[in-house]
Structure 1
Amino acid sequence: MSGAAAQSQDKVLRIAVQKYGKLVLLKSKGSLDAKLKPLGYSVNWTEFPSGPPILEAINVGSIDFGNTGEAPPVFAQAAGAPIRYVAYEPPAPKGEAILVPKASALTKVAELKGKKVAFNRGSNVQYLVVKALEKAGLAYGDITPVFLAPADARAAFERGSVDAWAIWDPYQAAAEVALEARVLADGTGIVANTQFYLAAQKLLDTDPKVVDVVLDALREVDVWAQSDIHAVAEQLGPSVGLPVPVLELALKRQSYGIRPIDAATLAGQQQLADTFHKLGLIPKPINVSDIARKSGS
């Protein structure tokens, strides 16, 4: 093998996946390697429990591409991470919710005053909590946030050590099915719950075509997923360890269509960033459009 050929075989695209979503479907399809082979790339997949550690991994240079909800990119940008928005999925407001136990006396968000609410720090559901409280006439300081990753939050929720849990699908669907958790409020009329695809700036600087190939492959998976939710749930079930009915519930609340970043979506992100800065959750104001993929990159 020539030196050039050997070098081409050494290029690895490092993709982060969560327990659920289009990237997991793309991984399970096994089609991306063949699409990237002409560019000299293979793929390495790494699972993460949520969005914030994915963007931290991009920040330290161990991941090249991943997807998260709305809030993690804002925290990451405020911290100076070299990330870029490259695409998004339309809003899916029912795909995240504030849950309470079946037997809870709580019936509305306003009753969360003075209560313990579990959620993943820096995640999209933190924004849901902020805006849901605001809509109910409460301030963020009126609750006691309990910062827990999804698995730990579910355990705290089950043993009753928190009063409510803000979480996204498929964990949300699993809690509704297995625990008969009640939805106090989902994102409807409160937040968009938009999913973003993000790439390392270094990847866009060196091989922007690779990002385009991944996005094209994701669009193919997206079309298939939308056309046969039951088949998708059956394929995902073994890999994510969740029953088919749980996944079907989550998939029906998911949005479909993977789109280039646009001004309206960035405006929504800017509102989120401004809200978090006003609350002191990020240390400085940011301009989210600064980290949108530029034309031609």
Structure 2
Amino acid sequence: MRHPQPRCFVCSLFLLFAALLHPLPGLAADVPDELVVADQKGQQRALMEAAGVEQDLPFRVRWVEFEAASPLLQALGAGAVDTGIAGDGPFFFAWGAGMPVKAAYLIPPRGGGHATAIVVAPGSTITSPAQLSGKRIATGRGSIGHLLLLRLIATGGIPAPAPQIVFLQPAQAKAALDTGRVDAWSTWEPYIALETIGHKGHIVVDAAGLTPNNSFFVATTAALAQKRRLLATFYQRVALAYAWGQAHQAQYAHILAQQTGLPEDVAVSVARQLIASPVPISDAVEQAELITLDTYRNAGLIQPSAPLSEAFDKDILKP
């Protein structure tokens, strides 16, 4: 399985995004008392608003929504947002390509690794990862879905011949799966629930035991230098919101459905998978993420020049 050189691809996107955004007013670093937060499918914003933890913040939070982590990280790399949530796969794909970002706050594995999975459409006869050999599988380039596929190939879960990976954003991938243009989709929540609960497809295999399954609040190096107090306060409120969510999953699911348009039963499943207990990043987390970095590096997708320790800011919440 051949891959294009990612450094050129990712950095080209980064430079294009930066060029498009740079002349415009209102970039994240321009407003010192405003934190610009990137979200995926409105999930973090819904949780924090449901918990009521934003109400008395001493600064403004401006939310920007993205469909997936890849465009979110491009926005971070271009300085259009200050912080946002991303899985470990897309984060290391971006960091390894030289984007000026660091992981600053940890969202531990959600749902024991079940929040990333390969799904198939209703009626598919594919029931095991071995049956994915040689098949067309949609996922996002550098996403946690891509990471899952690479781990299955590397560990022999998907034997030769390797599947043909079709790189698509979530909306395109769902359409391709539903119309039979691909055989499977390696994706994440809420898209797993949308396909399995909403469309009656089924899961072939998930990421449990294959990847660290961490997510991070990622921040730009500029925000970490210029808005450190704001970031620390915001991450503390994130922890309060997740604690509220653990105690009020039904309420959170209802608000998530209202704010994102997800069907209620899908939102209930997503809420169950989403809720975790955010914590600062530890040395153990750094060591665990070696497998993520090495998976992309061994596939020839990134060649980071900096040591792994420089991917993290572990001191953001220290007194």
Q: Fold conserved (TM > 0.5)?
A: yes
AA aligned opposite 2:44: K
Q: Paired residue for 1:18, among 19, 40, 44?
A: 40
AA aligned opposite 2:150: V
Question: Structure 2 matches for 1:55-134, cutoff 5 A?
Answer: 55-92=73-110, 93-134=113-154
Higher percent of residues as helix: 1
SS of 1:80's partner is: coil
Q: Paired residue for 2:207, among 163, 175, 187?
A: 187
**What is the deviation of 1:20?**
4.7
Tell me the distance in 1 between the aligned counterparts of 2:153 and 2:242: 33
AA aligned opposite 1:273: L
SS of 2:225's partner is: helix
Q: Paired residue for 2:282, among 262, 265, 278?
A: 262
AA aligned opposite 1:170: P
**What is the deviation of 1:135?**
3.5
Residue equivalent to 1:3: none
AA aligned opposite 1:135: T
Is the 1:71–1:124 Cα contact (8 Å) retained in structure 2? yes
Is the 1:130–1:140 Cα contact (8 Å) retained in structure 2? no
Is the 2:46–2:252 Cα contact (8 Å) retained in structure 1? no
AA aligned opposite 1:46: V
SS of 1:34's partner is: coil
SS of 2:125's partner is: coil
Q: Provide the TM-score with structure 2 as the length reference.
A: 0.83
**What is the deviation of 1:139?**
6.0
Aligned pair in 2 of structure 1 residues 140, 128: CA closer, same or farther (>3 Å)?
Answer: farther
Q: Gapped runs of 5+ residues in structure 2?
A: 1-29
Q: Encode CA deviations 1:37-69: one digit per residue, 9 max, x unaligned.
A: 2xxx31211101111211111111111010100
Aligned pair in 2 of structure 1 residues 195, 10: CA closer, same or farther (>3 Å)?
Answer: closer
Residue equivalent to 1:4: none
Is the 2:89–2:143 Cα contact (8 Å) retained in structure 1? yes
Q: Paired residue for 1:207, among 215, 221, 227?
A: 227
Aligned pair in 2 of structure 1 residues 140, 166: CA closer, same or farther (>3 Å)?
Answer: farther
Is the 1:89–1:259 Cα contact (8 Å) retained in structure 2? yes
CA RMSD of aligned residues (A): 2.1
**What is the deviation of 1:294?**
4.7
**What is the deviation of 1:13?**
1.2
Aligned pair in 2 of structure 1 residues 15, 9: CA closer, same or farther (>3 Å)?
Answer: closer
**What is the deviation of 1:192?**
3.0
1:145 equivalent in alignment to 2:165: yes
Residue equivalent to 1:253: 273
SS of 2:142's partner is: coil
AA aligned opposite 2:192: Q
Identity of matched residues, % = 28
AA aligned opposite 1:151: A
Tell me the distance in 1 between the aligned counterparts of 2:310 and 2:91: 12
Tell me the distance in 2 between the aligned counterparts of 1:140 and 1:24: 42
Q: Provide the TM-score with structure 1 as the length reference.
A: 0.89
1:44 equivalent in alignment to 2:62: yes
Residue equivalent to 1:5: none
**What is the deviation of 1:29?**
5.2
Aligned pair in 2 of structure 1 residues 227, 165: CA closer, same or farther (>3 Å)?
Answer: same
